Amino acid sequence: STASSNQSFEFREDPSFWKDHNVQVIIRIRPLSNTEISVQGYGKCIRQESCQTITWTGHPESRFTFDIVADENVSQEQLFKVAGLAMVDNCMIGYNSCMFAYGQTGSGKTHTMLGDIEGGTRRHSVNCGMTPRVFEYLFSRIQKEKEAGRDEKLKFVCKCSFLEIYNEQILDLLDPSSNNLQIREDIKKGVYVENLKEVEVTSARDVMQQLIQGAANRKVAATNMNRASSRSHSVFTCIIESKRECQGVTHHRFARLNLVDLAGSERQKSSGAEGERLKEATNINKSLSTLGLVIMNLVNISNGKSLHVPYRDSKLTFLLQDSLGGNSKTIIIANVTPSSCCSLETLSTLKFAQRAKFIKNNAIVNEDASGDVIAMKVQIQQLKKEVSHLR
Ligand code: ADP
Ligand code: MG
C-alpha cells in the first residue's frame, strides 16, 4: 500500500504551497481501525477521487475539493513535508503561522499534531507527529542561518508556552497551579494570555521536554476533574525572535507559531446532563460554535457583506483571532474517519473545512529596523478592521 500512496499523493514541498492563499485546508483520512474492520456491515463513507478531491458517499453523494486530501497511506513524514516544512520556512521569514487540527474524537487530531512523542524527536519513530518534526526542522534552520551569518551579529530567541482551554477557562499546562488565566489585548503585544508561563527553548529536545510535561499535566487535570481531554482545546505556542545587527542597524524579526489540537467536533449530548456537566457541554459548544460562526462571518465578509466577527465571544477565537482573518498564515487539518459508522460526523467536518477554505487572511512579515513599525502596522490593520465593521 506504500506504492499506492505515492500514486495518490502529490508532493508540494516548495513555498508555492502558499502561492494563492494564506489559508490552506488539508483533509486527513485515518485508516479504519481494527474494530471498525471487524464490525460487519460497515464500509467506508468517503471515496478519494484525487489528491485534492473527495466524495462523501452518503445520500446525496457530495463532492469536495481541498488544497490537499491525504489518505490513510500518507505518513507523518509526508504530511510534515507537505505542510510543516513550509510553515517553518514562513516563520523564519517573519510570518505568524498557525496550524489547527479539527475533527471528531478518534479521527486522528492528536496523532497528527503530536503522534508518538515517547521516542522524543528520534527521526526513526515513524509515528512521531507534526509538532516534534516542526521543531526539529526549526532548530536546524536556525543553526544553518547562524552558520551562514557568522559575520553578522545574529541572535535567535525562542520561547514557548502551552495552554488548555476547557469549559471556557484557560489552564497553563506548563504551570498547572495557574488556572483561569485571562486574555488581554495590547497595541504592541497584540492578543496575549496574562501570566502565562513562557519557557525559553534552544533545541528540539527542550521543546519535547515541555510538550511531554504539558501533556502529562493535561492528563492529571483531566483525571482530577473527571473528564476526557477530548473535551478541551490545547494550544502550543512558540515565539521566534531574531535580532540581526548589520551596519549599525538592528533588524528585528518575530513570528508567532500556534499549534492547536481542538476539542472533538462531535455534537455534545447535553440531554440528561445537569449542573457542571451541562455547563461544560454548553461551553464546549461555545468555543467550537463560535469558531464556526467566526468562519461563517469571515466568508460572508469576503463576499462583500458587512458583519461583526464575534472573536470575543469565546476564549478560543479571541486568542486565535489573528489566525482567523488576520495577520497569519494558517493551515487547517480536518481529520476524518472513513468508517460509515461516523458518516454524518465526517460530512459535518468536510462542510466545516469547505467553509474554512474561503477565509482570507492578510499576512505581513513582522520585520523592521526599529521595533515600532510592526506595532503600527498591526494597529493600522486593527483600525481598518474596526472601520470595516462600522460601515
Ligand atoms: P483524536 O485526537 O482526534 O481524538 P487520535 O489522534 O487519538 O484521535 O486517534 C485515534 C486513534 O487512531 C489512535 O489510536 C491513533 O493512533 C489512531 N490514528 C489516527 N490517525 C492515524 C493515522 N493517520 N494512521 C494510523 N493511526 C492513526
Ligand atoms: Mg486527541
Q: pLDDT tens-digit profile of 173-197?
A: 999 998 899 999 988 778 999 999 9
Q: Which among 357, 229, 350, 342 has a CA at the least distance from the CA of 295?
A: 357
Nearest atom (ligand 1) to Cα of 33: 12
| Smallest CA separation from ligand 1 atom 18, residue | 108
Q: Do residues 47 and 36 make contact, with C-beta atoms less than 8 angstroms apart?
A: no
User: CA 308, CA 318: separation in Å to the nearest integer?
Assistant: 14
**Ligand 1 pocket mutation pick from 111, 113, 164, 261 by most atoms within 8 angstroms of CB:** 111
User: CA 188, CA 126: separation in Å to the nearest integer?
Assistant: 41
Asked whether the predicted pLDDT for residue 306 surpasses 60, the reply is yes
CA of residue 366 to ligand 1 center, whole Å: 35
Q: What is the pLDDT of residues 323-366, one digit of tens each?
A: 888 888 999 999 999 999 899 999 999 999 998 988 888 888 88
Q: Which among 263, 269, 371 has a CA at the least distance from the CA of 316?
A: 263
Of the two residues 91 and 9, the one the predictor is more confident about is 91
Strands 46-48 and 53-56: antiparallel
User: CA 218, CA 166: separation in Å to the nearest integer?
Assistant: 11
Check residue 366 and give its pLDDT: 84
CA of residue 48 to ligand 2 center, whole Å: 24
Helix pair 85-93, 130-148: axis angle to 10 deg: 40
**Ligand 1 pocket mutation pick from 27, 30, 284, 339 by most atoms within 8 angstroms of CB:** 30
C-alpha distance from residue 282 to each of 136, 246, 258, 271 (Å):
38, 54, 25, 11
| Smallest CA separation from ligand 1 atom 17, residue | 108
Annotated binding-site residue? 110: yes
CA of residue 207 to ligand 2 center, whole Å: 19
Check residue 358 and give its pLDDT: 84
Annotated binding-site residue? 106: yes
Annotated binding-site residue? 213: no
SS3 percent helix, strand, coil of the chain, rounded to 5, is 40, 25, 35
Annotated binding-site residue? 304: no
Annotated binding-site residue? 248: no
3: confidence class by pLDDT, cuts 50, 70, 90: very low
User: CA 257, CA 322: separation in Å to the nearest integer?
Assistant: 11
CA of residue 212 to ligand 1 center, whole Å: 18
